């Protein structure tokens, strides 16, 4: 099975993303396990974290941090099983 591409990303609360996939699924992904690792430490900054974008099927930030659709799909959960209320703007 091919992993669906990410078409949109929103910040739920730092450090959680709501991902919209090309197959119509919306899934929640907790970025916190990555925040102590190298280049991802910059994502601890709430303002910077919210600069996330969906780019060519990936999730990216301005200074080169990115997460692949495979990682995001396999390690995320359907939003129905995650408290996806109260989006940050």
pLDDT at 89 over 90: no
Q: Which fold has domain 6-80?
A: NE0471 N-terminal domain-like (3.30.2020)
Contact 50, 14 (CB under 8 A): yes
Sequence spans of domains, the chain:
6-80
The secondary structure element, H or E, covering residue 60 is strand 58-60
CA diameter of the chain:
36
- Confidence label for 86 from pLDDT (cuts 50, 70 and 90): very low
Specify the range with the lowest mean pLDDT, choosing from 6-10, 14-18, 30-34, 84-88.
Answer: 84-88
pLDDT tens by residue, 18-68: 999 999 999 999 999 999 999 999 999 999 999 999 999 999 999 999 999
């Amino acid at each position: 099975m091919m992993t669906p591409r990410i078409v949109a990303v929103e910040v739920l609360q730092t450090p959680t993303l709501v991902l919209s996939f090309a197959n119509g699924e919306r899934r929640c992904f907790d970025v916190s396990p990555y925040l102590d690792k190298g280049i991802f430490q910059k994502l601890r900054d709430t303002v910077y974290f919210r600069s996330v974008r969906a780019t060519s099927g990936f999730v990216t930030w301005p200074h080169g941090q990115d997460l692949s659709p495979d990682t995001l799909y396999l390690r995320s959960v359907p939003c129905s099983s995650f408290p996806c209320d109260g989006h940050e703007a």
